[in-house]
């Protein structure tokens, strides 16, 4: 177990290092931030040189990467080139908005997909099942941002029940949260359904039935509990997809999250913010993958520790 843990930790570190490398070098070839900062003015050569020097951009690339990496290890993500604010602070504030949206979407997604998936599995092949499968097919077939726009059209434009966009009150959270929830449910319902069908065919379910347990107890205590295990794994592993979805939905609803911050920062060539944001997002994703892996090993000892 100790050895497995160590191996996974090293692999995780390698992945993170790789991500920091990609982010660093990709951004360095996208354009000169000094040019972007001085756009609109007619700077002298000296001014350009001074700014380049002040930001450390005149050092060789490997040195710049080293400064960036050692900074990360000290929790120092640098300051925004655009407004001088601490990158860590900027991301921390935005992360709260993103987390709020992501958690809301995830909770709604689970609340929709688990009952629907179980319902479909228990009525396999019958009209209920066909209905649920059609719904989940629809859910994975339209782009989430389109659903968002349609919800705005109905609930904000036509019946004025909710705000079009913005941030602050719970009313602002409803439309983006529901959009994300439905998008997640579209993916997860099919997963819950097929797992539930598999589990209900297992021998331990027949045993539970044979010993006279009420149907409800069989379904919930024995069936659902086992069917949800792979769903939990999926949830952990799909954090990247979830965050990707959040980035686009943030654009639809002008939600001041990390995705909105990063897209703005990329356009401003604000290197430190994009670097910090990408590394922190990747840290979350890789960390959750590691956690899921470890939890799964603890829950299911059949998984080899090699």
Partner 1 sequence: MLRHSSLVAGGILVLAVIICAIFAPHLAPYNPLVGHLADRLDPPSWVAGGSHTHFLGADAVGRDLFSRIIYGTRISLLVGFTSAAASAVIGTALGMFAAYYGGMAETVVMRLVDLVLAFPFILLAIMIVAILGPGLSKIIFVLAATQWAGFARIVRGETLSMKEREFVEAARALGLKGWRVMIRHILPNIASSIIVLFTIAVAVNILAESSLSYLGLGVDPRIPTWGGMLAEGQLYITTAWWVATFPGIAIMLTVMGFNLIGDWLRDKIDPKYRV
What is the token pair recorded at 91? 């991301």
Q: Which stretch binds partner 1 (CB under 8 A): 62-70, 106-114, 144-152, 206-214?
A: 144-152
Q: Which is nearer to partner 1, 110 or 280 (CB)?
A: 280
Binding of partner 1 at residue 7 (CB under 8 A)? no
Q: Which stretch binds partner 1 (CB under 8 A): 64-72, 106-114, 132-140, 207-215?
A: 132-140
Over the range 54-91, which residues count as b (16 or more CB within 10 Å of their CB) and which as e?
Answer: ebebeeeeeebbeebeebbeeeebbbbbbeeeebbebb
Q: Which stretch binds partner 1 (CB under 8 A): 42-50, 86-94, 142-150, 220-228?
A: 142-150
Q: Which is nearer to partner 1, 1 or 29 (CB)?
A: 29
Count other C-beta atoms under 10 Å from residue 286's C-beta.
Answer: 18
What is the token pair recorded at 221? 């205590």
Which residue blocks in the chain are alpha helix, DSSP H?
A: 2-28, 33-37, 45-54, 61-73, 87-122, 127-141, 144-151, 170-200, 203-210, 215-217, 225-237, 239-252, 258-268, 271-299
Binding of partner 1 at residue 262 (CB under 8 A)? yes
Cα 77 vs. chain centroid, distance in angstroms? 21
* DSSP assignment letter at 214: -
Q: Which stretch binds partner 1 (CB under 8 A): 21-29, 46-54, 62-70, 218-226?
A: 21-29
List residues bridging with 215 in a β-sheet.
none
* 3-state class (DSSP) for residue 57: coil
Yes or no: say if 109 and 190 are a contact pair by the CB < 8 Å rule. Answer: no
Binding of partner 1 at residue 266 (CB under 8 A)? yes
Binding track, positions 275-304, relative to partner 1; x by CB under 8 A: ---x--xx--xx--x---------------
Binding of partner 1 at residue 162 (CB under 8 A)? no
Q: Which is nearer to partner 1, 32 or 49 (CB)?
A: 32
Report CA-CA distances (Å) from 7 to 11, 198, 288: 6, 32, 16
Non-local (6+) Cβ contacts of 85 within 8 A are 79
Binding of partner 1 at residue 166 (CB under 8 A)? no
Query: How far apart are the C-alpha atoms of 178 and 136, rounded to whole Å?
Result: 15
> Minimum CB separation from partner 1 for residue 141, in Å?
4
Figure out which of the listed residues 108, 219, 227, 274 binds partner 1, where binding follows CB under 8 A.
274
Q: Which stretch binds partner 1 (CB under 8 A): 29-37, 55-63, 174-182, 297-305?
A: 29-37
Binding of partner 1 at residue 19 (CB under 8 A)? yes
Binding of partner 1 at residue 157 (CB under 8 A)? yes
Q: Which is nearer to partner 1, 49 or 61 (CB)?
A: 61
Query: How far apart are the C-alpha atoms of 59 and 81, rounded to whole Å?
Result: 17
Q: Which is nearer to partner 1, 67 or 198 (CB)?
A: 198
Binding of partner 1 at residue 29 (CB under 8 A)? yes
Where along the sequence are the contacts to partner 1 (CB under 8 A)? 11, 14-15, 18-19, 22-23, 26-27, 29-31, 124-125, 129-130, 137-138, 140-143, 145-146, 149-150, 152-153, 157, 164, 194, 197-198, 240-241, 243-244, 247-248, 251-252, 259, 262-263, 266-267, 274, 278, 281-282, 285-286, 289
């Amino acid at each position: 177990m100790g050895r497995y843990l160590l191996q996974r930790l090293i692999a995780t570190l390698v992945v993170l290092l790789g991500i920091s490398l990609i982010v660093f070098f990709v951004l360095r070839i996208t354009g000169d931030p000094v040019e972007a900062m001085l756009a609109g003015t007619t700077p002298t050569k000296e001014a350009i040189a001074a700014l380049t020097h002040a930001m450390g951009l005149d050092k060789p690339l490997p040195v710049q990467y080293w400064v960036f990496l050692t900074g990360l290890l000290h929790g120092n993500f640098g300051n925004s080139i655009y407004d001088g604010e601490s990158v860590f602070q900027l991301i921390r504030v935005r992360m709260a908005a993103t987390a709020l949206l992501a958690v809301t979407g995830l909770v709604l997604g689970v609340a929709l997909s688990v009952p629907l998936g179980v319902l479909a599995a228990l009525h396999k092949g019958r009209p209920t099942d066909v209905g649920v499968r059609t719904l989940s097919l629809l859910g994975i077939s339209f782009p989430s941002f389109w659903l968002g726009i349609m919800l705005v059209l109905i609930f904000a434009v036509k019946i004025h029940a909710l705000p079009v966009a913005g941030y602050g009150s719970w009313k602002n959270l409803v439309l983006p949260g529901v959009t994300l929830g439905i998008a997640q449910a579209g993916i997860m319902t099919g997963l819950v359904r097929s797992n539930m069908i598999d589990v209900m065919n297992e021998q331990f379910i027949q045993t539970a039935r044979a010993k006279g347990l009420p149907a409800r107890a069989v379904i919930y205590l024995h069936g659902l509990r086992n069917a949800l295990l792979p769903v939990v794994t999926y949830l952990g592993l799909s954090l990247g997809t979830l965050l990707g979805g959040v980035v686009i939905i943030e654009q639809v609803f002008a939600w001041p999250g990390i995705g909105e911050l990063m897209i703005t920062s990329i356009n401003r060539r604000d290197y430190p913010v994009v670097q910090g944001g990408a590394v922190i997002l990747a840290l979350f994703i890789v960390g959750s993958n590691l956690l899921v892996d470890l939890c799964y090993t603890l829950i299911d000892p059949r998984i080899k520790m090699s």
